Each structure stands twice: as structure tokens, then as C-alpha cells.
């Protein structure tokens, strides 16, 4: 009896815990292989200031850490001062930033969590991939091989340490897992709780993930419920829960978030087969105006498996029972799911339909609708749930194809697919460039040119910096790091979304104060705009000093 129980328990443990844990460790291995260990050092921050959006994310955390606690909780009151800015609009990952702010006094002065986030994304990507594939097979080897396909997803690798929050693709896989388990979740309360948690996590990582998982939730509801009343209740409770969390972290502090440019960053119709630098075996295809935003390359291994799966399905279509089953699906709730996916695809392609560099169709929506949709103007990202569902479908068809064959055949097939995928992705120019760069992270040293005696003296007895003009990219990094070093507020910057009108009004008000001879004694005025300096030069009370490319305006 004890022996039988032991065997039974070992089988449960091996299937329920070993596969997801092992897949997480595989994710850890690939992360370390590509990015190394230096990024995991929380006190190693210089690599985050090498430029680009990554610097923006880290600067958001630095300001937030120094800011006073306010409500909403996720607002850095010292950035976009005096209005404040929610760090979700700096892509600083509120899910980690808020807990770390609570223990900020215990942390070293130089501290970053972005390396930890990257490792977590790889490990959770493997974990949820294993849980998804486990739904269709108990073969642990196949589960682990398939999880590698998800871990080596070009669309995740393409975001890591570039748009770092958007590398959290595990949250999409969690949504897909809940979709797959829609009818298996025992109670409605548990279903609502699971989806409320998933959508709330989504908004605390990046708002785009909320839109993606909301679509997956809608599909799950179609599978689970027959009555409209129950479906609506189940849909809106998770939405309101996530909305409440988003409000708590400051997501609604900016009233107008439409950024315009709808159609500029849509999915290209060749995206699934266009590597855009992420293939070591295939060349790039022509691409349109969206550029890298339209990346949705499946990888050569998955493309080969997709061709095999498609041929198998075509062969199966000869069987009348199979055709009858397909036709039955078309007349059931699966048709509604197809319509939802089609809608998501149309949104991802957006208003500028391109095949490579050729524009097939361009159209305009009513202004109100276009303004609403421009909240998610990088619309190609909305294709990501379809991308992963397609990957799941290919894997499932291949598993079913070999289901009654020798286990060695199915393992060999997936081993071949994973080998091709690994060679294709890891030998790509983009992957090798990342690997080379991150092997040298420990040698990167950041030096802020706004340092030295002049700048230290300029910051004395000051509480605020007002930059008179637009502040972008490298200039923002330099001024922001100077403000952080001296614990000064900053009125403007380079933000994903911002209270633009209010910031512009603050700058105009500061200019007017200077023109009427009423500068604030606790404020340091900086600009690169020579016109502003010349405008103020008519007043004998001001002098300007050009230091490191910036004009510092002070009273004579």
C-alpha cells in the first residue's frame, strides 16, 4: 500500500511541480547565457544610464524613490513638478517600484531592480509555458522542450532591456492559461478572482498588457457562460478591479493620454515571417513605417513546425468525422472567439495596412474613435496574444499528430524544432549584439557631464529645476541625474505620456516670472534655447553662463 502511494505521489509531484520548476530553471539558464550575471547586481546602475528608453525607466524609479508618499501611490511628485507624474508613464514597473519604495531607507543609495525583473520574466515565461503545454501532454520531455520555444520568443527578447516592462510576456501566458482552463475552474468566484488578479497585475506592469488580457478574458467568458447577465458581471468585475488598481497607482492622473499617430506602429502583414534582425538563418524582409514595433517573428523552428501542422490538418480534412467536427466548431461559441481574435487582429494592423513596404490600404476613422484608439497607438503589440495562441496551436497539433506514435518520435520532433529555433534566434544579429553588450555591463561607467564645482554651486540652496523648453533623450538624462543627485524637483522630461498642457503652462509661467523680474530664489533655471537667453538679456538683472551645452540663468 505504502509503495503504491509513494509511486502515485511521485507521479503527481513530477507532473505538477517538476515540469514548471524545471522550465523556470531553463528560463534562468537562457537569461544568464544571453545577459550574464552583472545585470543582477542591484547596486550596478551605470549600465542603465547608457541611453535610450532604459535610462528613462531607471530615472523614473530614482525620482519616485526620492519623492514624498502621496496618493495615488505610484506618483513621483518631484517629476513634472508641481503636477507630478505616475511612474507607469515612465515604464518603471509599478509592480516592483512601489514595494521597493516602502523599503527604500534600507536600500543602498544606488539600487536597481530591472535585472531582477528580466530574470523573473524569463523564469515565469518558462513556468507558464510548461503549465500551458501540460494541458495536452504528460510527456515531461516534450513539455520542457516546448517551454524553450516560448522562452526563445523573439518578441519577448526584442523588448528585454529596451522596453523592459513590455518584456513581461509571462502575464500574457498566464491569461492564455486561464483561457484554456476556463471551463475547468470550479467556481465563478475563483474564475473572477483569477482574472481580477491577472488584470490587476497587468496594469501594474504595463497598460498594454491590460488590453491584451481583457481580450483573453472575453474569450474565456464566451467559453464558460451561457447567460448574458452572468457573462457581463464576470467581465466587468475584473475590469473594475484592475481600474481601481490603476487609479491607486496614478494611471488616471493624466486626463488626455491619446498620443496621436494611430496607424504609424501597426502590425505588418509579413510580421510572422520577417525576422527584423532576430534570425541567424533567414534574411530580413521589407518592412514598413512601423519598423521594429511590428516584430512578430515566430522563429524558423516554429515556422517549420507550423508548416508540418498545416499539412497534417489538410490531410485530416479528408476524414469526414474531422470535417464534421470543424463545421461543428464554426456553429458554436468558438465562432465568437474567432470574431474576437479577428477584431484584435484588425486593431493590431490598425488604419495603415502594409505588406512589407507596400501600403495596401489606408483609411481614417471618426476623430473621436481615432483619439480613443490612439491610447494604444503602438497597435502591433495587440497582436501578441494571437502570436502566442498561434504558437500554442502549432505545438498542440504537433503533439496530437504524434500522439499515438512512439514517444521517441514526438520527443525527436520537438528536439529538432527547438534546436532549429535556438540556432536561428540565438545566432541572430540582434541576440549576439545583446549578448556582447551585456557581457561588458560591469565595465560600463556613467559620468554625468553636469558635475563639478560650477554645478555643485549652482545647486546650493535650490529646491527645484525649471527647464525652459522641451527636454528629450540625452539632455533629459543629464539634467534628471543632476536633479536626482542634488534632490531637486524637475518640471519636464522625456515621458511615455505626460500632462503636456500643464507642463507647457508651467514653463510659460516661469518665463513670464523671469521677464517681469520675479524669479524664484529656490529655483535653478536651465535651457538650451538661445532665444530664451536673448529674450532675457534685455534685463540687466540676469546673466547666463554656458556650461556643458546648457545655459544656466541667474540673477546678476
What 3-state class would DSSP assign to 494? coil
Residues 6+ apart with CB under 8 A from 290: 264, 265, 266, 267, 268, 354, 380
Give me the helix-helix angle, 170-180 and 207-224, nearest 10°: 10
**Non-local CB neighbours of 459 within 8 Å, separated by 6+ positions:** 482, 486, 488, 524
Express each pLDDT in 174-183 by its tens digit.
999 999 999 9
Instruction: State the Cα–Cα distance between residues 36 and 39, nearest whole angstrom.
Output: 7
* DSSP SS3 for 169: coil
The set of cell numbers assigned to 240 is 473594475
Identify the pLDDT of residue 543.
81
For residue 1, count CB atoms less than 10 angstroms from its CB and return exposed for 0-12, middle for 13-18, buried for 19 or more: exposed
pTM of the model: 0.94
Output Rg (C-alpha) for the chain, integer angstroms. Answer: 26
Q: Are strands 542-547 and 550-555 parallel, antiparallel or unpaired?
A: antiparallel
Cα gap 312→309, rounded to integer Å: 5
Q: Which is nearest to 285 in space by CA: 298, 276, 272? A: 276
pLDDT of residue 144: 97
CA distances to 61, 152, 405, 413, 529 from 418, rounded to whole Å, are 37, 9, 20, 9, 54
Q: In the Cβ-directed half-sphere of 93, how many Cα atoms lie within 13 Å? A: 24
**Distance (Å, whole) CA 286 – CA 141:** 38
Grid-cell match 531607471, residue found: 58
Q: Which residues of the chain have pLDDT under 70?
A: 1-15, 256-260, 538-539, 556
Domain ranges of the chain: 182-425, 453-555
- The b-or-e profile of 474-512 (16+ CB within 10 A means b, else e) is ebbbbbbbbbbebebbbbbbbbbbbbeebbeebbeebbe
For 108, 112, 485, 519, the CA distances from 42, given in Å and listed in that order, are 9, 5, 18, 40
- For residues 226, 228, 231, 236, the Cα torsion angle rounded to the nearest 10 degrees is 180
- Count Cα atoms within 13 angstroms, Cβ side, for 535: 13
Cell (9 digits) for 10: 511521485
Whole-number pLDDT of residue 8: 55
Residues, the chain, total?
556
Burial 213-242 (b: 16+ CB within 10 A, else e): bbbbbbbbbbbbbeeeeeeeebbebbeebb
Residue with the three cell numbers 491607486: 248
- Looking at 331-448, list the stretches that DSSP marks H as alpha helix, in order from N- to C-terminal side: 333-349, 367-373, 384-401, 407-426, 429-438
Predicted local confidence at residue 468, as pLDDT: 95
Cβ(240)–Cβ(285) under 8 Å? no
pLDDT at 12: 53
- Burial tier of 340 (Cβ tally within 10 Å: 0-12, 13-18, 19+): middle
In angstroms, the Cα distances linking 545 to 63, 425, 449, 483 are 27, 51, 15, 18
Give yes or no for a contact between 73 and 98, defined as CB atoms under 8 angstroms apart. Answer: yes
d(CA 188, CA 209): 23
The helix-helix angle for 53-66 and 473-485 (nearest 10°) equals 20
Helix and strand totals (H; E) in the chain: 22, 9
Amino acid at each position: 500500500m505504502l509503495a503504491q502511494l509513494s509511486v502515485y505521489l511521485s507521479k503527481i509531484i513530477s507532473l505538477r511541480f517538476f515540469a514548471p520548476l524545471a522550465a523556470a530553471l531553463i528560463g534562468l539558464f537562457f537569461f544568464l547565457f544571453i545577459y550574464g550575471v552583472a545585470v543582477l547586481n542591484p547596486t550596478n546602475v551605470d549600465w542603465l544610464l547608457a541611453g535610450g528608453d532604459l535610462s528613462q525607466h531607471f530615472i523614473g524609479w530614482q525620482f519616485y524613490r526620492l519623492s514624498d508618499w502621496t496618493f495615488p501611490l505610484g506618483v513621483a511628485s518631484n517629476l513634472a513638478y508641481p503636477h507630478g507624474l505616475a511612474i507607469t508613464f515612465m515604464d518603471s514597473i509599478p509592480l516592483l517600484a512601489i514595494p521597493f519604495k516602502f523599503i527604500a531607507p534600507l536600500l543602498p543609495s544606488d539600487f536597481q531592480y530591472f535585472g531582477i525583473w528580466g530574470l523573473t520574466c524569463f523564469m515565469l515565461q518558462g513556468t507558464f509555458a510548461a503549465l500551458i503545454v501540460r494541458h495536452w501532454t504528460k510527456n515531461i520531455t516534450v513539455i520542457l522542450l516546448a517551454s524553450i520555444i516560448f522562452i526563445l520568443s523573439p518578441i519577448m527578447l526584442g523588448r528585454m532591456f529596451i522596453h523592459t516592462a513590455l518584456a513581461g510576456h509571462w502575464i500574457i501566458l498566464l491569461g492564455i492559461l486561464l483561457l484554456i482552463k476556463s471551463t475547468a475552474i470550479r467556481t465563478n468566484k475563483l474564475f473572477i478572482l483569477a482574472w481580477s488578479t491577472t488584470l490587476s497585475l497587468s496594469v501594474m506592469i504595463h497598460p498594454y498588457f491590460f488590453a491584451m488580457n481583457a481580450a483573453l478574458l472575453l474569450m474565456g467568458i464566451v467559453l464558460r457562460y451561457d447567460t448574458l447577465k452572468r457573462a457581463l458581471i464576470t467581465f466587468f468585475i475584473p475590469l473594475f478591479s484592475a481600474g481601481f488598481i490603476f487609479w491607486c497607482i496614478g494611471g488616471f492622473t493624466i486626463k488626455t493620454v491619446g498620443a496621436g499617430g494611430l496607424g504609424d506602429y501597426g502590425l505588418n502583414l509579413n510580421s510572422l515571417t520577417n525576422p527584423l534582425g532576430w534570425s541567424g538563418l533567414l534574411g530580413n524582409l521589407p518592412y514598413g513605417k512601423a519598423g521594429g514595433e511590428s516584430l512578430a517573428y515566430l522563429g524558423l523552428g516554429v515556422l517549420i513546425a507550423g508548416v508540418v501542422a498545416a499539412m497534417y490538418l489538410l490531410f485530416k480534412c479528408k476524414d469526414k468525422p474531422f470535417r464534421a467536427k470543424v463545421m461543428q466548431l464554426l456553429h458554436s461559441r468558438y465562432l465568437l472567439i474567432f470574431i474576437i481574435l479577428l477584431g484584435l487582429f484588425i486593431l493590431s494592423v490598425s488604419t495603415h495596412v502594409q505588406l512589407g513596404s507596400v501600403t495596401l490600404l489606408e483609411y481614417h476613422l471618426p476623430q473621436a474613435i481615432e483619439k480613443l484608439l490612439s491610447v494604444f497607438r503602438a497597435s502591433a503589440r495587440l497582436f501578441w496574444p494571437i502570436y502566442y495562441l498561434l504558437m500554442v496551436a502549432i505545438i498542440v497539433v504537433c503533439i496530437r499528430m504524434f500522439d499515438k506514435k512512439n514517444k521517441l518520435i514526438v520527443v525527436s520532433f520537438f528536439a529538432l524544432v527547438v534546436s532549429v529555433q535556438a540556432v536561428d534566434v540565438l545566432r541572430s544579429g540582434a541576440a549576439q549584439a545583446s549578448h556582447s553588450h551585456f557581457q561588458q555591463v560591469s565595465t560600463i561607467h556613467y559620468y554625468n557631464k553636469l558635475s563639478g564645482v560650477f554645478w555643485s554651486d549652482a545647486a546650493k540652496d535650490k529646491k527645484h529645476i525649471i527647464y525652459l523648453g522641451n527636454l528629450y533623450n540625452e539632455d533629459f538624462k543629464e539634467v534628471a541625474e543632476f536633479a536626482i543627485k542634488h534632490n531637486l524637483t524637475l518640471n519636464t522630461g522625456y515621458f511615455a505620456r505626460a500632462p503636456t498642457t500643464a507642463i507647457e503652462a508651467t514653463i510659460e509661467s516661469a518665463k513670464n516670472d523671469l521677464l517681469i523680474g520675479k524669479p524664484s530664489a529656490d529655483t535653478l533655471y536651465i535651457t538650451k534655447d538661445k532665444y530664451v537667453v536673448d529674450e532675457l538679456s534685455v534685463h540687466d538683472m540676469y546673466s547666463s553662463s554656458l556650461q556643458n551645452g546648457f545655459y544656466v540663468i541667474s540673477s546678476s
